[in-house]
Amino acid sequence: MNFRIIASIAITAVSTLLLSSCGGDPDSAGYEYMPDMYRSAAIEPYVDYGEIRGRENEAVKLTQSALTPPSETVPYVGENENDVLIMLPYARKANESFKSTHGMFGADLTKEDTYTLAAADKNPLILTADNSASIFKQGKTLFKNNCSHCHGLKGDGNGPMVESGAYSGVPDYTNLKNLGDGQLFYSIYYGKGAMGSHRSILNKKEIWTIVHHIRKIQDENYGIDANTSVVSDSTSMVETVLTDSTATH
């Protein structure tokens, strides 16, 4: 008898608790008994913290939560020495003109013409007979996803955005064979003209991979002899990056 009474009380209590968790607001998820199980206590990107769990904070409403990593941050990319060197902080600062052209207010800029200086930089992503096919394949995919809407799949400057009339003046890469690897990297990393910076969506290795693809667009025979000239040029750039990084950090 006592068991039945206790069971009835327990069932009634649980039912009352469950029913009370359902609010009258059809948009309400009800009470949250263990919010940390499905809501991160850490700050997450792309979340508007101006209104959380029914509480509003006007001071942070519509404030960007996805912030740029601290200067000189080095991501963990494994233990491959060449990959680590490539992912070190970029040795060349943007010119001070980027403050007005690309909104780089508060950035560590320089008066030097670093775009011209970048012409001496060679691609540190070394092509070999074993990796060239995969690098070109990845470069083609990265270019298609991040560049072709303006530059076109063929790199001729006639992408959908240009054909629609939204943008104009996008260059044809076949006419830019005189640009150095470093200048291509610099333009993608910091932006150039109407093109914005891609450093927030592409890491350094991905940008250098795209540079290889652009070279392939310019010369279909590029990278075929992956064990001679390309390797020697790339190796010199790795040494330059290491020297510059050591000197500045």
Give 120's pLDDT tier (boundaries 50, 70, 90): very high
DSSP state string for 84-144: HHHTSPPSSPPBTTHHHHS--TTS--BSS-HHHHGGGPPP-S---TTTHHHHHHHHHHHHH
Backbone φ, ψ for residue 22 (5° rounding): -90, 105
pLDDT in tens, 94-107: 999 999 999 898 88
d(CA 37, CA 114): 49
| pLDDT confidence of residue 20 | 66
| pLDDT confidence of residue 185 | 98
Structural domains of the chain ordered from first start: 2-56 (no CATH), 81-248 (1.10.760.10)
Helix (H) or strand (E) holding 244: helix 229-248
Mean pLDDT across the stretch 110-133?
Answer: 95
How would you write 44-57 as a 3-class SS string?
Answer: CCCCCCCEECCEEC
| pLDDT confidence of residue 183 | 97
| pLDDT confidence of residue 50 | 79
- pLDDT beyond 90 at 45: no
Angle at 58 between CA 54 and CA 59, to 5 degrees: 130
Residue 110's DSSP bridge partners are 95
